[in-house]
Amino acid sequence: MNHRLKQSFKRLHAVKRLTGWSRARKTRELGLWWQKLLTLDEATQFSVEGNPRVLLATSLGAYQPASRLDSLLAMALKLRGAEPHVFLCDSFLPACQLVDAYFYPNQDKFLRHGSRHDVCRTCTEPTAAVFEALDVPVHQFSRYVADSRRHEIGELAADIPAREISGYRSSNIAVGEHALAGALRFFASGSLDREPRGEEVLRSYFRAALLTAEATRGLLDEIEFDNVVLHHGLYVPQGIICEQFRARGARVATWHPAYRRGCFTFSEDNTYHKTFIDEPTAKWEGIPWTSALDSSLMEYLESRRCGSRDWISFNRQPIESLEEISSSLGLDPDKPWIGMLTNVLWDAQLHYAANAFPSLLDWTVRTIEHFAGRPDLQLIIRAHPAEVSGQLPARQTISDELTQAFPVLPDNVFVIPAESQISTYEVMLNCDTVLIYATKMGIELSAFGVPVVVAGEAWIRNKGFSFDTSTPEEYFELLNQLPLNRRLDGPTKERARKYAYHYFFRRMIPLEFVQPGRGGLFGFDLRLDSIDSLAPGQSLGLDVICDGILNGADFIYPAESCAVGDEEATSTPLSADHLTLP
């Protein structure tokens, strides 16, 4: 089904009710599954008194990956002597990450009631019941904000000039930045300027961010936590909770489902969107590189052309005939190709100090203007497929923006729209150089030896194998040197491959309990022999995660030590009588 058509179904009241009922049913099944497993393992002993207190800031009960993984982490932490608690929103916030403009095309209704009449009804109670069945204390947002403070926060959110919201900080917490990121995500757009109710929705997210900050402060004033674990680490409410705990000096761990199936990425202290940029190169540049690791990496990267080993894939049946691609685009075979990869405009819109341009759109437009004066080169722009096939399709697309900026594109500039089946890999691997802003594909292209120029917050920045720019002047000076007419040299390419291996195999931590299942993107089921399967020493991936949470160890899976053929070893294999979440 067309992804935008699928999103449009959200508008139907019956679909909203069915979606909420389905989420609640799956969460209740999760609770029953845990109860059955605990019944089978009645002899399992937990001792948590006086040990590290860890807050699992699940926050959004209806976010299925969080309720499942956090419940698994809760039991694993208890088996390691920790005392897990859970923090949940209880229909308290006027806006959050679970809602969007596809779900609420009528923003008037959303602005009056928030999501209390639909999403909230099936969000908190089923998830709270799961953790209560696991004997894990549950804390709800509303308990920690006095009525008087709610009123004051409402007045502030209503009265502050809109232009001041994005930069607003409370006790040095970037409340406004996360509120803006949340509002942009709600509209699936990189700007609020064209949204008639954009300012009002932004104020709603700002109020939600302030309420989250107040609730988190209240919880921390009452209970001292050593650690917090939460998904994403940005948007509302997670970004606020993350910053609040960091300001109190607690250890912060954020997570997100990774590209590789059954794997998760954990980061220390901040959202992974930022930590990967600043990660010290010493974490990976010393990997003892071997032909076996090289083969394992390159076989996996080849599989990413259609995503056969991944949770996420944007093009399962790519067009890979270079002749067909060149002919359909009208490319001149005698002129060098320069590739350009864009991102989804609304995604993870945070501030990054090193970016050469104020926005991805500004970078794209100015790059096209530059190439208009370079008829000796051909610029091939690939719009990100997730604009149409992602979990939240973009309502503001690169193609639409470029049509507005350039009614007629320069003759040497070509755009591959997001919905095209043309293989991004086939095109970019045949380019002289590729220009990127924030895409992770720079990791892969560098590993294949393709020179990559970085203008934004791409994770390969500062890793020693890309051409990094931090000002427009640096960027255009590099463009003036094109074409390069060469690939990365041997040592540089090996360095790029070490980082690619580090990212795809060491920072993506496998959990053998997680099996792809229902629930759309990142939908997964849990499969366990017994509670003791979560104990120390039973799962290397889980040991890495828990050691990082409790002791501050690196969230790095030692894949190079346990590689088996072209796959990576997980841990203890499941027996035939494992219990599977229905």
pLDDT in tens, 423-445: 999 999 999 999 999 999 999 99
452-454 sheet: strands from edge to edge: 413-416, 378-382, 337-341, 433-436, 452-454, 467-468
Question: Quick one: 241 and 292 in the same domain?
Answer: no
Rounded percentage of the chain residues whose pLDDT exceeds 90: 79
pLDDT of residue 71: 97
Last residue of a domain, one of 474, 505, 536: 505
Statement: residue 187 has pLDDT above 50 = yes
Statement: residue 367 has pLDDT above 60 = yes
Distance CA 306, CA 445 (A): 15
H-helix or E-strand containing 255?
strand 251-257
Statement: residue 47 has pLDDT above 80 = no
Statement: residue 242 has pLDDT above 80 = yes
Question: Quick one: 174 and 246 in the same domain?
Answer: yes
319 or 4: which leads in pLDDT? 319
Distance CA 34, CA 77 (A): 15
Residue 581 lies in a domain: no
Range scoring the smallest mean pLDDT among 223-227, 308-312, 408-412, 493-497: 308-312
AA identity, residue 312: I
Distance CA 582, CA 573 (A): 20
Residue 272 lies in a domain: no
Contact 181, 235 (CB under 8 A): yes
Three-point CA angle 210, 214, 215, nearest 5°:
115
Last residue of a domain, one of 505, 527, 542: 505
Question: Quick one: 225 and 317 in the same domain?
Answer: no
Question: Quick one: 391 and 490 in the same domain?
Answer: yes
Q: pLDDT band for 523, please (50, 70, 90 cuts).
A: confident
Statement: residue 344 has pLDDT above 80 = yes
421 or 116: which leads in pLDDT? 421
Q: What is the dihedral sign for C-alpha 14, 17, 23, 28?
A: negative
Q: Collapse the DSSP code of 576 into the 3-class scheme (helix H, G, I; strand E, B; otherwise coil) and give the result.
A: coil
Q: pLDDT band for 138, please (50, 70, 90 cuts).
A: very high
pLDDT of residue 1: 46
Residue 462 lies in a domain: yes
Residue 265 lies in a domain: no
Question: Quick one: 208 and 345 in the same domain?
Answer: no
Q: Which residue has the tokens 């022999």?
A: 529
pTM of the predicted model as reported, rounded to 2 decimal places: 0.92
Last residue of a domain, one of 477, 505, 533: 505
Mean pLDDT over residues 291-308, rounded? 95
Statement: residue 10 has pLDDT above 60 = no
| Closest to 53 measured CA to CA, from 136, 145, 141, 144 | 136
pLDDT of residue 125: 94
Mean pLDDT over residues 453-467, rounded? 95
| Closest to 56 measured CA to CA, from 120, 130, 145 | 130
Statement: residue 419 has pLDDT above 90 = yes
Mean pLDDT over residues 74-93, rounded? 96
pLDDT of residue 264: 96
Question: Quick one: 454 and 311 in the same domain?
Answer: yes
pLDDT of residue 559: 97
Range scoring the smallest mean pLDDT among 281-295, 354-368, 478-492: 354-368
Q: Collapse the DSSP code of 452 into the 3-class scheme (helix H, G, I; strand E, B; otherwise coil) and give the result.
A: strand
Please provide residue 303's backbone torsions phi and psi, each rounded to the nearest 5 degrees: -65, -20
Rg value, the chain, Cα:
24
Range scoring the smallest mean pLDDT among 208-212, 319-323, 543-547: 319-323
Mean pLDDT over residues 120-139, rounded? 94
Question: Quick one: 397 and 527 in the same domain?
Answer: no
Distance CA 567, CA 561 (A): 12
pLDDT of residue 566: 40
Q: What is the dihedral of CA 89, 95, 97, 98, to 10 degrees?
A: 80
Rounded percentage of the chain residues whose pLDDT exceeds 70: 90
Range scoring the smallest mean pLDDT among 206-210, 248-252, 432-436, 526-530: 526-530
Residue 178 lies in a domain: yes
Q: pLDDT band for 48, please (50, 70, 90 cuts).
A: low
pLDDT of residue 581: 47
Range scoring the smallest mean pLDDT among 29-33, 118-122, 465-469: 118-122
Task: Cite the beta strand spans of 312-360 per DSSP E.
Answer: 337-341
Question: Quick one: 322 and 390 in the same domain?
Answer: yes
Q: What is the dihedral sign for C-alpha 343, 347, 349, 353?
A: negative
pLDDT of residue 21: 79
Mean pLDDT over residues 224-248, rounded? 96
- CATH number of the CATH domain containing 332: 3.40.50.2000
Statement: residue 580 has pLDDT above 70 = no
pLDDT of residue 390: 79
Question: Quick one: 500 and 519 in the same domain?
Answer: no
Beta strands 508-510 and 514-516, pairing class: unpaired
Question: Quick one: 237 and 319 in the same domain?
Answer: no
Mean pLDDT of the chain: 90
Question: Quick one: 227 and 330 in the same domain?
Answer: no
Contact 556, 506 (CB under 8 A): yes
Q: Which residue has the tokens 């899976």?
A: 557
In the chain, the number of structural domains is 2
Residue 576 lies in a domain: no
Statement: residue 140 has pLDDT above 50 = yes
Question: Quick one: 209 and 232 in the same domain?
Answer: yes
Statement: residue 578 has pLDDT above 50 = no
Distance CA 368, CA 380 (A): 10
Residue 271 lies in a domain: no
Distance CA 383, CA 401 (A): 11
Distance CA 535, CA 548 (A): 15
**Domain span at 386:** 284-505
Mean pLDDT over residues 542-550, rounded? 98
pLDDT of residue 351: 62
Three-point CA angle 256, 237, 248, nearest 5°:
90
Give, rounded to a whole angstrom, the gap between the first and last alpha carbons of the chain.
26
pLDDT of residue 511: 96
pLDDT of residue 45: 67
Range scoring the smallest mean pLDDT among 287-296, 425-434, 526-535: 526-535
Residue 582 lies in a domain: no
